[in-house]
């Protein structure tokens, strides 16, 4: 098991990874898939929860769907295989888009 990937990190550490972002906020990351197949395929994306004072969620950012598959698990597999460096790059893009 490799904890440099999103899925590996979650399995080894039993929790989602956390990142600091350019906006000075702390974020943790998880994944989600859409509830129903659109055009015969499911989409999977990243959801970044922004943490505020008192360890309470203070907002969130999310990517567009970044992988697709015939089932939710098929769509999720490439997202879980992303390296933490790639996940951080997605977070940076989301933060830049939200502050633009």
Which helix (H) or strand (E) covers residue 20, if one does?
strand 18-20
Domain region containing 15: 6-99
Q: What is the pLDDT of residue 51?
A: 94
pTM: 0.91
CA distance 29 to 90: 10
Q: Classify residue 14 by its DSSP letter.
A: S
Instruction: Specify if 37 maps to a domain.
Output: yes
Phi, psi of 6 (to 5 degrees): -60, -50
- Is residue 90 packed enough to be buried (19+ CB in 10 Å), middle (13-18) or exposed (0-12)? buried
pLDDT in tens, 15-27: 999 999 989 999 9
Instruction: Specify if 1 maps to a domain.
Output: no
CA distance 45 to 99: 20
Asked if residue 54 has pLDDT above 90, the reply is no
Into how many domains does the chain fold? 1
More confident residue, 90 or 40: 90
More confident residue, 34 or 48: 48
Residue (of 26, 8, 9) closest to 95 by Cα position = 26
């Amino acid at each position: 098991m490799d904890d440099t990937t999103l899925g590996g990190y979650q399995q080894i550490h039993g929790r989602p990874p956390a990142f600091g972002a350019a906006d000075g906020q702390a974020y943790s990351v998880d994944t989600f898939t859409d509830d129903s197949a659109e055009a015969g395929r499911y989409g999977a994306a990243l959801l970044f929860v922004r943490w505020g004072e008192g360890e309470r969620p203070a907002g969130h950012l999310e990517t567009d769907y970044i992988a697709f598959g015939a089932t939710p698990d098929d769509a999720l597999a490439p997202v879980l295989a992303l390296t933490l460096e790639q996940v951080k790059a997605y977070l940076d893009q989301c933060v830049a888009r939200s502050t633009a």
